[in-house]
Structure 1
């Protein structure tokens, strides 16, 4: 019985030896033994994908070359685990960055200083300093709004002023002497007429320059500039005492009484303006409403005309 069983198992042992050699020579082929029952056993092989180099090594003869191919294949097997190693390598910098970020946060929290508590004197000094800075900014803003006209609005330049300006411009005469007025008074009439003509020409030129400056700005800009100049004057800022004169601005008409006063000025009693004004007041008080009506109507007509002109001026 035992002899018959050993004879049946000999082919199985031979198949196992062949399978072992095949695995050593062809690492890309896996041998799966089938179960043994009864009289015989069978072996099935399942091929796996492998590089062309491994196939060439399997076809080589036995011995040292086979062992070399086996060593090469065995050395290349771990290369399949590179993606996992790369993924681990990619995760490592993120973790390191997170640790560095945590350290930075901790460091910043450690550097943070406590808020300094100010004394009442320091608070007051800080408040005054802030108010001073605000005032400086306000003055700078107002100066920009106030504009800078070319000189002052001169109504008329006198011949004597022209004479003085030329007299001071003479080399060696930097100051006006006491006898300057006497010297001008003794000039010939032709020389005085020449200075008068120069004064008239200079006055006209200055008026034209000033008017061109005013007309280069809108009515709203001139009004804002004058408001800024009033503010600067109240705050003792030098150089902004004079308002900008806009020749385009319509003049507000007089009321009923002033219309009467101007109309009757020459016929009123008195030599001085004060006396004439006092007489006009008495006469106006004694007049009836019917007598005052013509002057009131004239004043109302002038006011309506002013409103029309003012509306047109605001649109400039």
Structure 2
């Protein structure tokens, strides 16, 4: 190790021609190298005594340089061998949400001037009367359900009335009556049975029709029929028979007459029996009448409130269920019309 190290030092100290000229030079070099090494060793001895010198790192063998072509080939090979760096994908830019279409401002419609309706002319007394009669006719339930003939004669006319002839209605009825008077008992019996069946059918239909209306509407219909009878001066007015209607309790006098009428009824007419019963009631004292009065008062208290707001509820029904067809003005009887003309 020391010899190799001295050779290196001698090569650096002597010229290169002397080292490699002859064998004598080779012999001289170790001597000078040893001397040089010894001198340096004496000087550096104290330092080596305290701390050992770190071993020298081995030098990597020198790579001989080749030509420029070789370097280019190596450079190309390195570039080819080196993995290609992947280009980073550019970050995707988020597309901005499409802006909502701006709402178009509503163009204010031109204000339409309201056309004032002409004021209604005041109604004349005749027009007021007609309007009143129409209103009462609507309340009276004037459109009754269809019915079939309920008499033998009516059944015979309905079956045998000729159609499409130039004969007047009166002459037709005379001819039919002549045929009806000559009918056999078997034919009359068949007509009687048919009329009874028709009457039963009519009753069922009328009951269905009555029950289709509320109780208060039927009650108000009977009130309107009575008023029409008075205004039109009719002799009779058919009332609607509804068993749902609350019955007014009889008075004390009516109770007494109903209980004692049979006792006064004899061989004479009913009018005499009724008069005797009324006279007996009038001759009674307050103490004798008291039981009948108490019964009547108890019935009145029990039935109190049954007719409350009947008219208001019935009118509300007609407001919500107006008739599709406007009722016509009811006609007056011929006799009543003549009297009104003469009075005017």
**Structures share a fold, TM > 0.5?**
no
Normalised by the length of structure 1, the TM-score is 0.43
Which has the bigger relative contact order, CA under 8 A and spacing at least 6?
2
Normalised by the length of structure 2, the TM-score is 0.40
- Between Structure 1 and Structure 2, the one with more helix by share is 1
